[in-house]
Chain A
Amino acid sequence: MATDGETAAPGGEPAPEAPLIELDGVEKVFDVRRRTGFLRGERRQVRAVDSISFTVRRGEMVGYIGPNGAGKSTTIKMLTGILTPSGGRLRVAGLDPSRERTRVARRIGVVFGQRTTLWWDLPLIDSYRLMHRMYRVPDARFRENLDRCVELLELGELLEVPVRQLSLGQRMRGDIAAALLHDPEVLYLDEPTIGLDVVSKVRVREFLRDLNAERGTTVLLTTHDLTDIEQLCRRVMVIDHGRLMYDGALSGLHAVGESERTLVVDLERELPPIEAESARVVKVEGPRQWLAFPAGTSAAPLVARIAADYPLVDLSVREPDIEAVISRMYAGKAVS
């Protein structure tokens, strides 16, 4: 099996430290033609990805975020072998995806959040049987993987249902299972929770966390939902205008972006603005007050202080908007 490839190398040096994904100065330049007249046009070069370097170790779970058009999808497309980089060096499991597309394809799983790869008019199980044969998964292995996915993604009742009758959340779970039946070493997810209801989101996240913990499957996901990153990824990479703006822990991202979380406090009665050194009141509306505090710090001490000094009825914490964090980061960089 592909997954045993590294350790089974006879006499070869085990290379646990070798990164699964390596990018070194990877670029992608598109020629964009714009029409200026009937037959005249001008060519312009767009750097969708501009000299990006990073490595991902086996078993990591990384969030890859950025605004629309930042270069996220282009990076994923290069990692999966769909697009050929214009420059730089890129390796997945030691292979060059653009030159060895089919070999890389056997080792990776891909889920495009907005495009299903399931067969619309056929029962879900038929799509899985096709994967079984197309990827030449050994029978026992296929059964085992399928049973596991069916159990954890709660697909049992859905296997005989034509895909067109599934809800969006059910279809997404079906798509994730389809991407995992051939034991991929790395799973790429492009917006896996987009358009899903809260319950489905929670289920998908739980499954991915288990997959990563139990199987050690490396996961790289792009998302607009900051909660996905918070609940799944210790590491986050931010890309904007084709450049890697940040690579590190999520808390660090908030520090860099100087973003703030908001604590919404309901008091027993109308009171003057709360005084706390680690936070400032940004709004008061009757007994309700809004306090902003740095997103990199914990809310617990602040909550404890307020609970001790004020008649607290209820509270909630609001996360900063990722787009806002990134735009602030970008603005900060442009100034410096």
Chain B
Amino acid sequence: MKAGGTAVRETAVRVVDVHPFERQGAYERLRDGLRAYRLITAMWIRSTMAYRASFAMTAFGNFAATALDFAAILLMFSRVDRLGGYSLPEVALLYGVSGVAFGFADLALGSMDRLGRRVRDGTLDTLLVRPVPVLAQVAADRFALRRLGRITQGLLVVGYALAVLDIHWTPLKVLLMPVMLLSGAGIFSAVFVAGAAFQFVAQDASEVQNSFTYGGNTLLQYPPTVFAKDMLRGVTFVLPLAFVNWLPALYVLGRPYPLDLPEWVAFAPPVVAALCCALAGIAWRAGLRAYRSTGS
């Protein structure tokens, strides 16, 4: 047996050529990640276009399914005038904002719940040998334009709500509308990433993740007044979904907040979203590190 017993020599002193691609600061990582994300999503779009008819049908199906979802709320309002003290257009605003925010996150990261499967069947390894961030590759996995259906439907519902509601508009409220949608998308994205990170440890947890993402979206479609206090505390302070639409939208509607929160919380969503994304990023790194040390 001739296993190399040669003295270990430190070779790091050698001048290694530095390709621009290899300088890895936080900014470069982000830029490389976004670039890789763009490249891979383009491949998935081309792949779906290989089956055009199928794409057209699933896109329509997706839109129809979400449309029916709102029809359920319309049906409810054919029996009652108010739901938890809220009128139909007010509920529509909550519904639409949550739908659009979730839709953006779903479009961007919707297949991250497949990570557990990739871990199980070993295809995650093929991503780890590529010179681009793994998160970008997993996020772009199975990118599907049909998910635009949910965003479209959400925007239509928001449009309906804004047209019907008699809101006393101020510049702050106008500004809050796009901020609310983007921050909401950020919060939902963080939930997607954190859920995927959890799947490094528990590979069959994709349904747990779905209950937080899809379940969270369904929850937010109804006014906070129909839920119990403890539930509201949970989605405000633990998993801060209340910042997606409830708190900012209630400010726009001029309605009282749940839990006697101060008025400025309506403007907290960007901060909450940034915080959530940072935490999700940490969770992701921890999950990937755990995978690379256990390989299971």
Q: Does A89 have its Cβ within 8 Å of any Cβ on chain B?
A: yes
Would you call the interface of chain B mostly helix, strand, loop, or mixed?
loop
Residue numbers in B under 8 Å from A94 (CB-CB): 11-12, 14, 16
Residue numbers in B under 8 Å from A4 (CB-CB): 17
Residue numbers in B under 8 Å from A81 (CB-CB): 128-129
Listed by A's residue number, 18 A-B pairs whose Cβ atoms lie within 8 Å are: A2-B17, A2-B19, A10-B15, A12-B14, A15-B11, A18-B9, A22-B4, A23-B4, A24-B4, A24-B8, A82-B295, A115-B123, A134-B39, A134-B132, A135-B131, A136-B19, A162-B50, A246-B1
A47-92: which residues lie under 8 A (CB-CB) from chain B? 52-55, 74, 77, 80-84, 86, 89, 91
Roughly how many angstroms separate A22 CA and B10 CA in the complex, as a whole number?
A: 11
Residue numbers in A under 8 Å from B39 (CB-CB): 130, 133-134
Q: Does B168 have its Cβ within 8 Å of any Cβ on chain A?
A: no
Would you call B128 and A22 a contact (CB within 8 A)?
Answer: no
Would you call A126 and B292 a contact (CB within 8 A)?
Answer: no
How big is the A interface, by class? 35 or more
How big is the B interface, by class? 35 or more
Q: Does A197 have its Cβ within 8 Å of any Cβ on chain B?
A: no
- B135 → chain A, closest Cβ, in Å? 12
Would you call the interface of chain A mostly helix, strand, loop, or mixed?
mixed
Q: Does B22 have its Cβ within 8 Å of any Cβ on chain A?
A: yes
Tell me how many residue pairs across A and B have CB atoms closer than 8 Å. Answer: 122
Residue numbers in A under 8 Å from B21 (CB-CB): 106, 136
Knowing A12-B14, A130-B43, say if A89 contacts B8 (CB, 8 Å).
yes
Give the residue name and chain of the A residue nearest to B293 (CB): A84
Would you call A247 and B2 a contact (CB within 8 A)?
Answer: yes
Residue numbers in B under 8 Å from A231 (CB-CB): none
- A212 → chain B, closest Cβ, in Å? 20
Would you call A117 and B126 a contact (CB within 8 A)?
Answer: yes
Q: Does B210 have its Cβ within 8 Å of any Cβ on chain A?
A: no
Knowing A5-B17, A130-B39, say if A106 contacts B22 (CB, 8 Å).
yes
Would you call A247 and B3 a contact (CB within 8 A)?
Answer: yes
B245-296: which residues lie under 8 A (CB-CB) from chain A? 289, 292-296
